[in-house]
Structure 1
Amino acid sequence: MAASAPSYASGTSTTPLLGETIGQNLERTVAAHAGRPALVERATGRRWTYAELNRDVDALARGLLAAGVAQGDRVGIWSPNCAEWVLLQYATAKVGAILVNVNPAYRVHELEYALNQSGVRLLVSATSFKTSDYRGMVDQVRPDCPALERVVFVGADSWDELVAGGAETPAEALRERMAQLSPDDPINIQYTSGTTGFPKGATLSHHNILNNGFFVAELQRWTHEDRVCLPVPFYHCFGMVMGNLGATSHGACVVIPAPVFEPAETLRAVHDERCTVLYGVPTMFIAELNHPDFDSFDLSSLRTGVMAGSPCPQEVMKQVIERMGMREVTICYGMTETSPVSVQTRVDDAFDRRVATVGRAHPHVEIKVVDPATGLTVPRGTPGELCTRGYSVMLGYWEQPDKTAEAIDSARWMHTGDLAVMDDDGYVTITGRIKDMVIRGGENIYPREIEEFLYSHPDVLDAQVVGVPDPKYGEELMAWVRMRPGAEPLTAESLREFCRGRLAHYKVPRYVHVVDEFPMTVTGKIRKVEMRERAVQILGLREEGGNGAS
């Protein structure tokens, strides 16, 4: 019998990579679509055509030049989603400053770290939002951030002053600066939420993120007719790359439904603005589908979109296609360090491919699955660590060459830390994180498989499975579940009965914990590390055993 092919694939494409800066690309779109809608901010009712957007971007860019922002200087942005976020994204790209995305959920300790680690000279910040007093926190850290020379607050006099300061700066000065820029220059630093220690600043170039946003949109078949609803955060690649850059590279319109995700505002934005595209992480789509007023919104304009950010439950994908009408919805897989997308389903993939896999290699990107112990490529159908290589791999972690070397090997392969299987046709299934794999009595268990099974329970709305210490088996499984409204809480006994004859005995969770919500990052990623820590306390266990995985 012939040996199975290796788990390697490269994304071929007849569409070439874009060899321009973000500013050049925006201006090319403006020339083609000047009068078309470019940006809608629902909270304020403000709207921009492409000509108006470019005008305001240039005004802000000249303000940055007048403020002394040099090529390569770091400019921070700390704010929920708003139009000014978008203006600053493109203005910094035009002057060659490196935009440093600061998570709006950060507090004083994390803010100070990000500003100092990246050396931010100018910070643009929200004044306040809900319970967050951004101005107060900025005042607290300023004395300890020696590089920080100026702080500008969105919607305040300081913003108007920044823009007005560029009035005397001639347009030629901006042209001259843009002419000095290379697509390979660093343009963006995004801090990855490390589970241990301080976050690392993934440093990305024009070439990295412009092309990734472009091809994510290409695979959804966007045109200048599309209207893109973005409830996902701009500070993350999902919003600013896959959303904003995907839209501006195609002449599509960005719709900001609200400063942060709110299911009703998202549904209302799709309804009112006739959006054709909707983005979200699975928890967002679950919240929208289960909103009590869901049926009152007309979502018939929806065609495509992206579900990404964490594993996408098959049952949720089915409902998004059937109930929301997103017949061409795609799943993307990636990480900040790869700009972010490496693998995506196609709009014309068979239904089972689109709900059960994360798709195939992205255009111009290589992927492989390797044995984590040896680094050798495994045969197709064999689990291993997913690695990716190509234009999308970051320049490195900002001023952390040691951490960069741990993630990117000498052949420029980015090691994702995710477990994956590639099938004979090159489709990839993510089976979990290497660190999430549970070893129970010598059996390797992938929580994702059990989570997918739990979604088939009629009373379960959402499920997450983690390993907890066990003196006999090393680890046991614990299921955290969210119940559908009105359903009886799931117990370990009732779950065992549901699993009987349908799941191998060692895969049946020993413990069940019913919750209203899971601990999550702001981007909607489940914090399994925190779930494990809380599980140990809830169950009164001692940390022993361990999962044996690196």
Structure 2
Amino acid sequence: MTVALNDLLPAELRRSWVVDGTCPGLDLYSLFRARQIADLHRTAVLDAKGKLCYTALDRKVRCLATGLRDLGIREGDVVGVQLPNNRNAVIADLALAALGAVALPFPVGRGPKEAESLLGRAEAVAVIAPVDHRGSSHAADLLALSPRLPFLRDVVAVGPGTAPEGAVPWADLLRSDPGGFVPARPDPDSAVRILVSSGSEAEPKMIAYSHNALAGGRGNFLASLVPDGRPPRCLFLVPLASAFGSNGTAVTLARHGGTLVLLDHFTPEAALAAVREHEPTHVLGVPTAVRMMLERLDGAGERLPSPTALVLGGAPLDEITARAAAEVFGCPVVNLYGSADGVNCHTGLGSTVPPTSASGIVAGRPDPRVAEIRIAAPVTHEPLPDGEIGEIVSRGPMTPLCYVGAPDLDARYRTPDGWVRTGDLGRLDADGVLHVVGRLKDIVIRGGANISPAEVERELRSHPQVRDVLCVGVPDPLMGERLAACVVARGPQAPTLDVLGDHLTARGLERRKHPERLLVVGELPLTPAGKPDRAALRERLAGSSRAGVPEDAPLTQAG
């Protein structure tokens, strides 16, 4: 191992969770192998190529692991993985776990500059990427970075298509003889995966997770949504390479012996077809993706096959979307509050539509088998009593080891006793239910006054002409910043800035918090990780301003 991945949690805490059965105390490949032996022919993956059972998947995993070991990949080595949502991503995940290596997945679509930052800071020795994906030559792009990445030895190129010169063809590795392969048996509390989060830093944050934190902590999260204990069939509408997607291989397969339903590329039409054809028990995605699916069904009167749960996270969930989704999908809609940094809380299966609150997003009751949550004073980190608003801090079985190659982030976001500072504001009510109020950093400062975009978005989503909305700050020479609302209209007629202002006034929001710019778009842009792309919207707003729109004028643009 090159880069240091130290555990910032007390060792006795980690041990206690294994002793009491909260965490399995086994590495991910051993857990997967036990599932394979228990049910040889259960379907592990459903993707564009069809079905792949546990036994066939295990053989491919052992072939790849043998090939990677022959390349010199050893226990503790970091290997980047930039693959779309298909069986190859799952094979890579499990093969690296079988070697005791550390996977660094990041979604296709992220460009060479970001890849260079991730691979360089993590001191990755190899990276696996497609020859071509939707017009992007990721393998060739990563190969071109090699001279600037002193630790990077190999680029593995995944077809179809011919591997660029100098890359290692994936197909060659899969032809390796697995007969003599003996898997590593890494410490279950050692690193197995690095999650990538854009967060609010200049460069993407990287967070190291152990086998126990994924299969134990995150595994307990999914277990709470599987009431009958049967292996789940999970349709992922987010990349497996995202933090949300880490509930795929490690949790759905290794921990629960379930089935992954994967889309190479999300479209609402493809997602709806997968629900109809494969009848997943759990659909996991962001609210924006589900709004797109509901829009395609608008007026059709179709009820889809009912999953056990529709699990939505990554962005705030409004009541209108939740009610419409619950009716169309015919199942409870679960509001998930979580992040790559190490926090998780959800509203559960107890209600069809998540409860609401006028003062923030209801995130549910924290589960100590996943992550204990407290409210702390942002400066002193001292616990605050129930009902008071402060910073949400988290510590529990899913807590990550540390930030990767960033001691400054460890110092900023981890307390001396291992609690994770989320940067989110919230409160715990008298019943122990978490309410998320906003972000410490995600504040627009207009003329010295603070505006929470999350608060304004929450109220705007209740307007009948608004299907989706994001609010962002735009620079202003007079006020410093002004608030812009980026709106996807519901129906043919988009609301005007005045109409939205009247609505906010009726909802009790003071005038200083009203948006002063309006950008009307056909759909909200998504990042490669599947989340709404605020940066892209800021750029569109800035571009419109550069085109000559006066700074003090409302901005409306069709997209």
**CA shift in 2, pair 1:321/1:386, >3 Å:** same
Amino acid at match of 1:319: A
- CA 1:138/1:475 → structure 2, altered by over 3 Å: closer, same or farther? closer
Give the AA of the match of 2:411: A
Distance 1:351 1:441, change over 3 A: same
Q: Deviations over 1:175-227 (max 9, x none)?
A: xx22xx11011111233214442223211111111123311211111643532
Hey, what does 2:344 align to over in structure 1? 342
Give the letter aligned to residue 148 of structure 1: L
- In structure 1, give the amino acid aligned to 2:127: L
Aligned residue runs from structure 1 range 182-201, under 5 A: 182-201=187-206
CA distance in structure 2 between the aligned counterparts of 1:454 and 1:311, rounded to whole angstroms = 12
Cα shift at 1:433 = 1.6
Q: Is 2:368–2:396's contact at 8 Å kept on the other side of the alignment?
A: no
Are the structure 2 counterparts of residues 470 and 119 from structure 1 closer, same or farther at C-alpha, using a change threshold of 3 Å?
closer
Once residues 351 and 144 of structure 2 are traced to their aligned partners in structure 1, the CA distance between those partners, rounded to angstroms, is 52
For 2:258, which of 232, 252, 257 is the aligned residue?
Answer: 252
Structure 1 counterpart of 2:221, from 216, 220, 225: 216
Within 2, Cα distance between the matches of 1:485 and 1:409? Answer: 48
Cα distance in 1 for residues equivalent to 2:248 and 2:301: 29
Q: Structure 1 residues 352, 236: CA separation in 2 closer, same or farther (over 3 Å shift)?
A: closer
SS of the counterpart of 1:29? helix
Provide the secondary structure at the position in 2 that maps to 1:323: helix
The answer to whether the 8 A contact 2:326-2:353 is kept is no
Structure 1, 314-323 or 369-378: larger mean CA deviation: 369-378
C-alpha distance in structure 1 between counterparts of 2:537 and 2:418, whole Å: 34
Residue in structure 2 matched with residue 459 of structure 1 by the alignment: 465
Aligned residue for 1:246, secondary structure, equals: helix
Match of 1:310 in 2: 315
Give the SS at the match of 1:129: coil
Using a 3 Å threshold, how does the CA distance of structure 1 residues 375 and 225 change in structure 2: closer, same or farther? Answer: closer
Q: Does 1:479 find its partner at 2:476? A: no
| Gap change, CA 1:475 and 1:123, over 3 Å in 2 | closer
- TM-score in terms of structure 1 length: 0.86
CA contact (8 A) 1:370 1:384 kept: yes
Structure 2: distance between partners of 1:201 and 1:215:
23
**1:268/1:244 Cα in 2 relative to 1: closer, same or farther (>3 Å)?**
farther
Instruction: Judge which range, 284-293 or 516-525, deviates more.
Output: 516-525
The residue that corresponds to 1:162 in the other structure is 173
Q: Which moved more, 1:428-437 or 1:289-298?
A: 289-298
Stretches of structure 2 lacking an aligned partner (at least 5 in a row): 1-16, 164-168, 553-559
1:269: how far off? 0.9
Q: Which letter does structure 2 place at the counterpart of 1:25?
A: L
Aligned to 2:398: 392
Task: Please report the TM-score for the alignment, with normalisation by the length of structure 2.
Answer: 0.85
Q: CA RMSD in A?
A: 2.8
1:96 CA drift (Å): 0.2
Range that drifts further, 275-284 or 107-116: 107-116
Q: 1:118 to 1:473 in 2, by over 3 A?
A: closer
Distance 1:273 1:470 in 2: 50
The 5-angstrom pairing of residues 75-154 of structure 1 reads 75-154=79-158
The aligned amino acid for 2:98 is K
Q: 1:480 to 1:170 in 2, by over 3 A?
A: same
Q: Which amino acid aligns with 1:78?
A: Q
Contact 1:477 1:509 in 2 (8 A): yes
Instruction: Sort the Cα spacing of 1:163 and 1:536 in 2 relative to 1 into closer, same or farther, 3 A.
Output: closer
Residues 441-479 of structure 1 show CA distances to partners (whole Å, capped at 9, x for unaligned) of 776543323222212211111122234567887655332
Which letter does structure 1 place at the counterpart of 2:205?
A: K
CA distance in 2, matches of 1:114, 1:508: 38
| Residue of structure 2 aligned with 1:353, choices 351, 355, 358 | 355
Which structure 1 residue ranges, 4+ long, deviate > 6 Å from structure 2? Answer: 12-15, 470-474
Distance 1:227 1:504, change over 3 A: closer
Deviation at 1:236, TM superposition (A): 0.9
How high is the sequence identity, in percent, across the aligned residues? 30
Unaligned runs of 5+ in 1: 1-11, 543-550
Task: Please state if 1:410 is matched with 2:416.
Answer: yes
**Which 10-residue stretch deviates more, 193-202 or 263-272?**
193-202
SS of the equivalent of 2:296 reads: coil
The count of aligned residue pairs is: 518
1:37 lines up with 2:37 in the alignment: no
- State which of 330, 334, 347 in structure 1 corresponds to 2:334: 330
Q: Deviations over 1:350-373 (max 9, x none)?
A: 745379511121333221112223
From the superposition, tell whether residues 420 and 530 of structure 1 become closer, same or farther in structure 2 (CA, over 3 Å). farther
Alpha-carbon distance in 2 for matches of 1:436, 1:282: 19
Letter in 1 for 2:284: Y
Contact 2:443 2:451 in 1 (8 A): yes
Contact 1:212 / 1:241 at 8 angstroms: preserved in 2?
A: no
| CA distance in structure 2 between the aligned counterparts of 1:436 and 1:367, rounded to whole angstroms | 21
Query: 1:375/1:366 Cα in 2 relative to 1: closer, same or farther (>3 Å)?
Result: same
CA deviation profile, 1:134-190 (whole Å, cap 9, x unmatched):
2331232123223222222223572121122344x514x33xx22xx1101111123
Q: Give me the whole-angstrom Cα distance separating, in 1, the residues matched to 2:279 and 2:423.
A: 39
Decide whether aligned partners of structure 1 residues 247 and 141 sit closer, same or farther in structure 2, where only a CA change above 3 A counts. same
Q: Secondary structure at the match of 2:508?
A: coil
One-letter identity of the residue aligned with 1:332: L
